[in-house]
Amino acid sequence: MDPSFDALVARARRLSVPGRRLLGIAGAPGAGKSTLAERIVAAVPGSVLVPMDGFHLAQAELERLGRAGRKGAPDTFDAAGYVALLRRLREPVADEVVYAPLFRREWEEPLAGAVPVPPDVPLVVTEGNYLLLDTGPWAPVQDLLDETWFLAPDPATRVRRLVERHVRYGRPRAEAERWVAESDEVNARVVEGSRARADLLVRG
Ligand SMILES: Nc1ncnc2c1ncn2[C@@H]1O[C@H](COP(=O)(O)OP(=O)(O)OP(=O)(O)O)[C@@H](O)[C@H]1O
Ligand SMILES: [Mg+2]
C-alpha cells in the first residue's frame, strides 16, 4: 500500500536520531520531489533541505560545453561536486557550517552558498533526479544516503504538472509541451531505470 504523508513523516522522524542522517528522494522530472521534500523538512524539526538541483552547471558553462539544449540531463550537473558535498554532510565537523547551493528556477541558474547546514542538524533531506543512477559520477550517491525514496505519481499527472510549471515560469505552452516531450521525458526514462534501487516506492 502507498504510504500516507503522515507515515512518511514518521519514517523521516525515526531516521532523524542523534547523529547525522541523510534521506534522499529521487524521481522523474515533475514527480513532486521538491514539494514533498519541503513538506517533510517542515514537519521534521531541525531538518534541512539540500537539493541536487543546486548542482546544475551555470548556463554559460552549458553553452561552452554545447549542452544547453538538454539542460537537466545527467551530464549537465556537477555530479562530483554533489558527491563531495554529501561526503562533507555525512561527517559534520564541530563549529563548521557547510553551505549548499540552490537552483533559482526564476533565473534558471544555481546560487552558491544559499543553504547553511550547521553541524548539529540531525536530518539532511536531499532530492533530485539522479540520486539512484549507478553509472558515471552519480554512482557513489546512493551509498552516501541512509535511506532513499522513489516518488512515482501517475505519469500523465506528472507530465501535466510539469507543463503547467514551465508555463507558470514563463514558457509559452507549445514550447513547454515540446521541452517536456523532447527533454524532460528523455531524462524521465533514465530516472525510471533507477527506480528499483530505492528503499521505498511512493506513488504520491
Ligand atoms: N501532490 C501534489 N499535488 C498537486 N500538485 C503537486 C503535487 N506535488 C507537486 N505538485 C506540483 O507539480 C509540479 C512539480 O512538482 P515539483 O516541482 O515538486 O517536482 P520535482 O520532482 O521537484 O520536479 P523537478 O525534477 O523538475 O525538479 C509543481 O508545480 C508542484 O507544485
Ligand atoms: Mg524539483
Complete DSSP assignment for 40-68? HHHHSTT-EE--GGGGBPPHHHHHHHT-G
**Which ligand approaches the C-alpha of residue 161 most closely?**
1
Chunked mean pLDDT (size 10), the chain, 204 residues: 92 89 98 98 96 98 97 98 98 97 95 97 98 98 98 97 96 96 97 98 92
Question: Residue written as cell 535511506?
Answer: 147
Distance 101 CA to ligand 2 centre (A): 14
Distance 118 CA to ligand 2 centre (A): 23
**Which ligand approaches the C-alpha of residue 151 most closely?**
1
Q: How many angstroms separate the CA atoms of 180 and 174, rounded?
A: 10
How much is the pLDDT for 194?
A: 98
Nearest CA to ligand 1 atom 14: 30
- Which residues, 6+ apart, have CB-to-CB distance to 157 below 8 Å? none
- Short-list 25, 32, 60, 51, CA closest to 104: 51
How much is the pLDDT for 133?
A: 98
Site to probe by mutation for ligand 1, drawn from 102, 104, 161, 167 as the one with most ligand atoms within 8 Å of Cβ, is 161
Mean per-residue pLDDT over the chain, rounded: 96
- Which residues, 6+ apart, have CB-to-CB distance to 113 below 8 Å? 99, 101
Q: What letter does residue 72 receive in the DSSP assignment? A: T
Q: What is the phi-psi region of residue 202: left when phi exceeds 0, alpha when psi lies from -120 to 50, beta otherwise?
A: beta
Distance 20 CA to ligand 2 centre (A): 23
**Which ligand approaches the C-alpha of residue 72 most closely?**
1
Q: Which CATH class is domain 5-202?
A: alpha beta
**Beta strands in the chain, from DSSP E residues, in sequence order:** 21-26, 48-49, 98-104, 109-117, 123-128, 147-151, 200-202
- Reading the block at residue 40, the C-alpha cell is 517533510
- Short-list 108, 130, 153, CA closest to 25: 130
How much is the pLDDT for 171?
A: 94
How much is the pLDDT for 16?
A: 78
Q: How many angstroms separate the CA atoms of 105 and 134, rounded?
A: 27
| Segment holding 156, helix H or strand E | helix 155-168
- Which residues, 6+ apart, have CB-to-CB distance to 33 below 8 Å? 25, 26, 27, 127, 128, 129, 151
